[in-house]
Amino acid sequence: MDPTHPYFPNGLNMLNDDFDLSGPAETGAGPSGSGATPTSRTKSKRLTSDVWQCFDVVEMTLPDGTVGPRAKCKFCLKNYTTTKGGTGHLRRHMQKCMPKHIHVPNTTQTQLQRHPDGSVTTWHYDAAHARECLARYIAQTDQPINFGDCVFFQEFITSAFCPQMQIVSRTTTRNDLIKMFKTQRDDLTAELQHLTVSIALTSDIWNACSKQDYLCVIGHYLDSECRIQKKILGFRPMDFAHTADNIFAVILSVLETYDITHRILSITLDNASANTKSIALFTERNIPQAGGYFFHQRCACHIINLVVQSGLKKVSNRIERIRDAISWIGSSNPRFQEFGRHCTLNGLRPRRFQTDMPVRWNSTYLMLKNCLEYDTTISGFYNMKLAESGCPPAQSLTPDDWYVAKIFVEFLQVFYNATVTLSGVYYPTSSQAIHQIVEMSDMLNTYREDDLLGDAVVAMETKFKKYWSEMPFLYALGVIVDPRIKLAGLEYLLEFTGNKLSIDYSEQITDIRNKLFEVFSIYERRFGGIHTEPSPEPDRQPLPTSWSILKRRKKDKSASSSSSTTRSAASSGAELNRFLEAQFDADENTENFDLLLWWKTYSYRYPVLSHLARDILVIPVSTVSSEQAFSTSGRIIEPRRNCLTPEMVEVLICIRDWEHARKRMQNETVDEQFIQNFSNLYVDEGSGSNQVQN
């Protein structure tokens, strides 16, 4: 408040002249009938409050018809009572009225805010914005909802950053999170409604520590910049049995929330029988698009897990001895300290070893991989202790055990890389699936006759053929729409795989070609009249690891005849035929090739085929994205927070995912913390060097 304002020449805290709230002094004739004798009512009351500098005391007719004093505002001219109850009501009016009529300068020092573009503006504390940022931070980093109610957090903020910061209660934060969730969900709904491409789904079920099951539904689509987006659409409780009807009902409720039931191209699920049966219910509702050719996709990473687990059973006895050894070494602190000294004597850094989890084959792979460097040290120490305790030699570790472990790690490296590659988020995985199948089939063929791994490889090959002896149509189209491969390249890749695993893919190639033209005719009816403008030339990306096989195709004389069979009898696929008959060159644009950007660039040349290509390239071949959501859920619904309602769990899960999507931070194809649990276990300080610390 301006102390020099004309209404306050002496400052707001200066007292007014004395006011008399009792009206004019009463006079009366004394006994002598002369002079004014003041009575008890003539005693005036001194007005000491500073609010009276904003009010005038005036005589007005009161509601009861009498005349009495009223407090009249000097700014808005409203009048209020002047009673013995105090001046609180006058002060409240003054605080609201004065800023509207007089300028009150800010006496605090101005704070500047620098923007990313280099501009500088005055910064003002906004309590509502601070609450919104706090709620977003809580969701982004899995903090408890009462995080803002902590006095130590407030002390930290007010002391180091913003003195105006106020404590935010748990209830307020909860309401802010719900409001943020609804706002972002409405924005996502509007975005999905304006898409020109289809939406692919992944879904899975998870059991929380609170004994509550949840079903997660994730949407994958291309945005206006032709970038793959992944958004959690729903994280709903499953309060009933995991039947096909119930799974269908929950997923359908999520789709109806966003009004996208007519936009679903595919749904990727694991191999549970209830998931397979639920597909028929979607088909009855005519939800699948593109003739339903791509609608049901089995999780490729789940199939790889089944393949590897079948092999692990065959070598479990040798792996079990290694597991027992490292578990025994780490089960006692004095024993582990002695093992550490043994490592130092052998020129190795002392370290711990994490045992695997049987349900996760990649944990077995990581356990063996991190033990191999210490094989001699572990065997020497473990066998020495067994001999000292009188245990039979049959329990000792042998060189054959470590040989099997070493070869099996090299063997599993291909399957591990395939799992990581097919778990990607921001690049097409449907175009990578056959390349990984080629790599795995080549590895199975290489070790089929190995004396120690032969039984394991045969078991894995049997499981492999169970799921992939018939190549999924999506995988085939994923490489056909690659301009470096097309249909001729697909034929060669399937021929190579078939020779390695004794599978005849020749009839499937004909079936794939026919389905390709059928699907194209569906897209031609839908997008035949659309024309687009040319785009800038695309960048390049690294080649698939199986590209050397395609290069050898150019030298294969038998491949020349396959190109002549590319043209279909269908007369409506002129655009598709033109694409397939273009010259195949495995060396063209092979460095840093961006497949999605290529189709965006050449959509003017292939307007219909570009829509088909972009739709199938966005379909994920695994449900790992859903499993990543469950990893996040495990941090949110931890034992100390299992009282969260299912509705609040969905709010926190979705906001966290959407915020990470905004910053393109969802590409966690592997659990980094999970890997660190096996690799970063050195007991001395350092980052992993094998040098002995002096």
The arithmetic mean of pLDDT across residues 309-315, rounded, is: 89
> What gap in Å lies between CA 500 and CA 196, rounded to an integer?
41
- Per the DSSP assignment, residues forming a β-bridge with 204 are 216
| Segment among 155-169, 370-384, 624-638 with least mean pLDDT | 624-638
Neighbours of 568 (CB within 10 A): 18
Distances (CA, A) of 573 to 516, 523, 563, 602, 613: 10, 11, 17, 17, 15
**Phi, psi angle pair for 55, to nearest 5°:** -130, 150
pLDDT of the residue at 166: 81
Distances (CA, A) of 405 to 316, 449, 492, 586, 607: 10, 17, 34, 37, 52
Count Cα neighbours of 578 within 13 Å in the Cβ-side half-sphere. 9
> What gap in Å lies between CA 195 and CA 206, rounded to an integer?
30
Percent of the chain with pLDDT over 90: 35
Residue 558 has pLDDT above 70, yes or no: no
| Segment among 145-159, 329-343, 634-648 with least mean pLDDT | 634-648
pLDDT of the residue at 96: 85
Do the Cβ atoms of 646 and 237 come closer than 8 Å?
yes
> What gap in Å lies between CA 9 and CA 53, rounded to an integer?
10
> What gap in Å lies between CA 691 and CA 348, rounded to an integer?
7
> What gap in Å lies between CA 394 and CA 403, rounded to an integer?
17
Confidence of residue 82 (pLDDT cuts 50, 70, 90): confident
| Segment among 180-194, 233-247, 354-368, 459-473 with least mean pLDDT | 354-368
Helices (H), 297-373: 300-312, 316-330, 333-345, 361-371
76 secondary structure, DSSP code: T
Question: How remote is the C-alpha of 338 from its chain's centroid?
Answer: 44
Neighbours of 299 (CB within 10 A): 24
Q: What is the pLDDT of residues 509-539, one digit of tens each?
A: 999 999 999 999 999 988 876 555 444 444 4
> What gap in Å lies between CA 233 and CA 227, rounded to an integer?
18
pLDDT of the residue at 684: 64
pLDDT of the residue at 631: 57
Q: What is the pLDDT of residues 579-626, one digit of tens each?
A: 988 775 544 555 578 899 999 988 888 999 999 999 999 999 998 876
pLDDT of the residue at 24: 41
pLDDT of the residue at 469: 93
pLDDT of the residue at 109: 57
The CA-to-CA distance between both ends of the chain, in Å, stands at 69
Maximum distance among all alpha carbons in the chain? 144
- Per the DSSP assignment, residues forming a β-bridge with 251 are none
Sign (positive or negative) of CA dihedral 258, 261, 265, 268:
positive
Residue 92 has pLDDT above 60, yes or no: yes
Confidence of residue 636 (pLDDT cuts 50, 70, 90): low
- Per the DSSP assignment, residues forming a β-bridge with 430 are none
pLDDT of the residue at 688: 40
Confidence of residue 571 (pLDDT cuts 50, 70, 90): very low
pLDDT of the residue at 637: 55
Q: If you search the block for the tokens 């699936």, which residue do you land on?
A: 433
Return the closest-CA partner of residue 580 out of 487, 484, 513.
487
Residue 415 has pLDDT above 70, yes or no: yes
Do the Cβ atoms of 606 and 575 come closer than 8 Å?
yes
Per-residue exposure over 538-549, b if at least 16 CB sit within 10 Å of its own CB, e if not: beebebbbbbeb
Does the pTM exceed 0.85?
Answer: no
Q: If you search the block for the tokens 């799921």, which residue do you land on?
A: 467
Determine whether 301 is exposed, middle or buried from the number of CB atoms within 10 Å of its CB (0-12, 13-18, 19+).
Answer: buried
Mean pLDDT over the full length of the chain: 80
Residue 204 has pLDDT above 70, yes or no: yes
Residue 572 has pLDDT above 90, yes or no: no
Do the Cβ atoms of 55 and 70 come closer than 8 Å?
no
> What gap in Å lies between CA 631 and CA 627, rounded to an integer?
6
> What gap in Å lies between CA 397 and CA 326, rounded to an integer?
11
> What gap in Å lies between CA 12 and CA 52, rounded to an integer?
9
Return the closest-CA partner of residue 594 out of 546, 543, 544, 538.
538
Do the Cβ atoms of 216 and 626 come closer than 8 Å?
yes
Residue 4 or 352, more confident: 352
- Per the DSSP assignment, residues forming a β-bridge with 231 are 219
Q: If you search the block for the tokens 């390349």, which residue do you land on?
A: 435
Residue 638 has pLDDT above 60, yes or no: no
Q: What is the pLDDT of residues 425-457, one digit of tens each?
A: 899 999 999 999 999 999 999 998 888 888 999
> What gap in Å lies between CA 558 and CA 488, rounded to an integer?
11
pLDDT of the residue at 529: 62
Return the closest-CA partner of residue 472 out of 333, 575, 621.
621
> What gap in Å lies between CA 434 and CA 546, rounded to an integer?
9
Helices (H), 535-694: 547-553, 559-562, 574-580, 595-601, 607-617, 624-636, 646-662, 672-679
The arithmetic mean of pLDDT across residues 96-104, rounded, is: 75
- Per the DSSP assignment, residues forming a β-bridge with 123 are 111
> What gap in Å lies between CA 537 and CA 594, rounded to an integer?
10
pLDDT of the residue at 10: 45
pLDDT of the residue at 252: 94
pLDDT of the residue at 33: 41
Return the closest-CA partner of residue 22 out of 82, 72, 80, 63.
82
Q: Token pair for residue 383? A: 């066998």
Confidence of residue 135 (pLDDT cuts 50, 70, 90): very high
Residue 341 has pLDDT above 80, yes or no: yes
> What gap in Å lies between CA 420 and CA 626, rounded to an integer?
15
Neighbours of 582 (CB within 10 A): 11
Return the closest-CA partner of residue 353 out of 332, 337, 330.
330
Distances (CA, A) of 675 to 60, 632, 670: 83, 16, 8
pLDDT of the residue at 680: 65
Radius of gyration of the chain (CA): 38
| Segment among 44-53, 568-577, 641-650 with least mean pLDDT | 568-577
Question: How remote is the C-alpha of 513 from its chain's centroid?
Answer: 37
Helices (H), 528-606: 547-553, 559-562, 574-580, 595-601
> What gap in Å lies between CA 407 and CA 134, rounded to an integer?
51
> What gap in Å lies between CA 484 and CA 482, rounded to an integer?
5
The arithmetic mean of pLDDT across residues 650-666, rounded, is: 90
Residues in the chain, overall count: 694
Residue 327 has pLDDT above 80, yes or no: yes
pLDDT of the residue at 361: 84
